[in-house]
Structures are given as C-alpha cells and as structure tokens.
Structure 1
Amino acid sequence: MAHHDLLIIGAGSGNSVIGPEHDGWDIAIAEPWLFGGTCMNRGCIPSKMLVHAADLAMSARLAPALGVHTTFDGVDWPSIRDRIFGRIDPIADAGLAYRHNLDNVTVYESEAHFTGNRAFEIGGQSVTADHVVLAAGARSVVPELHGLLDTPFHTSDTIMRVDTLPEHLVVLGGGFIALEMAHVFHGLGSRVTILHRGDLLLRRADEDIRHRIT
C-alpha cells in the first residue's frame, strides 16, 4: 500500500495547489485525462479560440452590408482545430512531464475511487493519504432521451476535436455552452438547429438578455 502526505484528485486547478510550503511533502496526483483541466483542454480556452475564428468568418460574410468588399469561401476546419490544439496539447503534456520529474511527486494516470476514510483504489493500487484535495471538476450531463444512446453524439468535451466540420449540427439545450458552440459552428459554416425546452434561451441570464439572444 502506498501512503502520501497529500493526495490531489484532479490536475486542473488541483495542480496549482502545490507550492513552496509543500517542499518535503510526499505528494500524489491522480489524473486519468489531460493535465490542465477543463478550462485549458476542453473549455474556455479552446472555445474562445474557436469563437475568434467564427467571428472572423461571420465578419467576412456580413461586411458587404457595410460597403466593405469581402467574400466568404468557407473554412479549413482541420487547420483551425489543429492550430488550437497544437498549442494547447503540448502545455498539458509538459505539465504532466514536469510533475513526473519531481522527486516528491507521484502521478497516477488513473481515476481514484474511495474505499474508506482517506483510502483509495487508484489504477488497481491501494493508496492512503493524510490530506486529500478533491479537484475532479465537472462532467457533461447526457440527458435521458429515448434513442439518444443509439445515436452518435458529441458533448462539449469532444465536439471541438471532431475530424470534419458538421454540415448540420443539432444542439440540445439553450445554456451558455450550447449557444457558444452553436455560434462557433454556425459562424464557420454549419447549419445549426437548437432544441430547447422553453420559450427563452439562457435560463439563468438577465431577462432582457434572454429576449435579445432568443
């Protein structure tokens, strides 16, 4: 059984917990996916880079209405995607390599499961720790819709890395992530349909904003 002074579950914001005050501690990090967490790998950073590309594409289409002579001839989706993740993925890889190279840090590239009080099963190994930080983040929720599991679909975790630009994208939901992805793919040339229960989008937003966006 392995024992550590500190176990951090999740290498997104959890990766920033370790500081000079932990010099001399035996530290472990459990992360089955990419270092850097949701924001860097599948959230706000790649999505905003996609939004910028979509905004440029939409500007090219809309500029003639203002007397600016531009044309829109489509996009090179693989180039857009690869430019974004070609910058992001090496950062995640470097973060993992850096932690692996520290003498006082053990990295478990597996999920952690509680088996008792500060006791865990990680990658088939029993692990205990004096201190535990839970920083596992959030997961996309797949709604229970009849037939959905029999239909190929993406979530916000995967849609930004697809191989080809969808000809037609159906977005289930009317929250801010749904609308951001709808804007991105519509801006880049996909036909987009939003399916939302209710009369107004962005349920938790200001009422005037909801009416304007809808």
Structure 2
Amino acid sequence: MKAATLRTTALRSVGTNTKDPDLIRDRREQLIRAALAVFQEKGFHAATVRDIGRVAGLTQGTIYNYVRSKEDILFLVCDRVIAEYISSMEEAVAAAGDPAARLRAALRGVTRVMIDQSSAILLVYHETHNLDRRSLRSLLARVQGWIRRFEELIVDALGPDHLPKTKRGLLTNIVTFLPTLIALRGWSLPKDLTHDQYTDWLVEFMMRGLGLDKPGGTV
C-alpha cells in the first residue's frame, strides 16, 4: 500500500511582514535553533524574545518581521520537532521493501529521532500547554495524521485479516508511544547502553509484540 506523504510543514500559518519565502525559512530556522536552546535552559515563561534574539544573532525588531509573538516561536519549535519524526518515518518507508521491512524501518527511524531529539521532545511535552487552542489543534492534527500512517504500515505488515478494526487504533497508539520512553523516562534508563542497542532492542520488542519476526509469526 502506498499512502500519501504526510505534510511536514505547519497547518497553522505564522504571520510575517516579509514576502521572501527563502528569507522567511532561513530566519525562522535561526529562531527555532536559538529558541530550543533558550527554552531548554530557562523554560518558556522565563525566556524572553530578547534572549532568543541574542542567541540567534537577531534584534527584536528583526524577529518581529518573521513572527508575531513568543508563542509563535514556541509553535514553530513544536512543529519542527513533530516534522522531524514524520520525515524520519517517511524516509525510512521510502527506502524499505516489503511491508514488514517498511514497518521495521519506520520504527527504527522514529526511535532514532526520539534518541537524537530527546531534549527537544521533552520540551514539547512540557511546554505545549502554553499554546493557544488553535495552535495546539494544528499540532495534534499532524500527530494524528502520523499515527494513522503508522496504522496503515501495521495493517500492511500484519494483513487486514490478522488485526480487527476495533483493535487497530489502540495498538497503533501503543506502538507509536513506546519510543517516547527514551525522552520521557531517560533519567531511569540504563546508562551503559549505546544508542544502537536502545534502537535495536526497542524495535525488536515492538516487532515481536506485533507478532512479527518470531518463530511461527507472520514474517
């Protein structure tokens, strides 16, 4: 089954005074990188636009040409983090072969993003409550689209007859949430494991839990 590629840009637009799309992209990239560092250090409430501008090398006046508020910057940060694991999944799926291999590749891709972006993902979990309802709905819609894409991958790998529709949503949510353990429970995880070991073991656990890659299983 070939599904449409998920959007990796925000559904909710952010106001700008600049019409040059390349300049908007470049300046917002500066703001996102700077805001990630500042928000992780100070938290959203204690951080100021001036703090972000200092790290980004931009004046407040310049910043307000590309966003309207600090909340806009937080939205762009959260949207970027979500886009990272959407892109990782789609790239992995495009490079893989049979349905089980595509699912495994997608799980590996998302797990690696959770490892590489763990501090940013933790920030998203802590700070999204500061967004207005429209922004939050936009982000949740993108996450929901990603979950539905994963459901397609799971159904493809197992076969529609092996996974009743009543169980698909719950199972998919369990599988897609497990990799966030690395970001949310990293303080409790063993410190003597490499990133490759975390990835290999977690993906193997999820695949076996789905009934794949085991004697007598689907694959």
TM-score, normalising length from structure 1? Answer: 0.30
| Higher helix content, 1 or 2 | 2
Task: Tell which has more relative contact order, 1 or 2 (C-alpha 8 A, sep 6+).
Answer: 1
Larger radius of gyration: 1
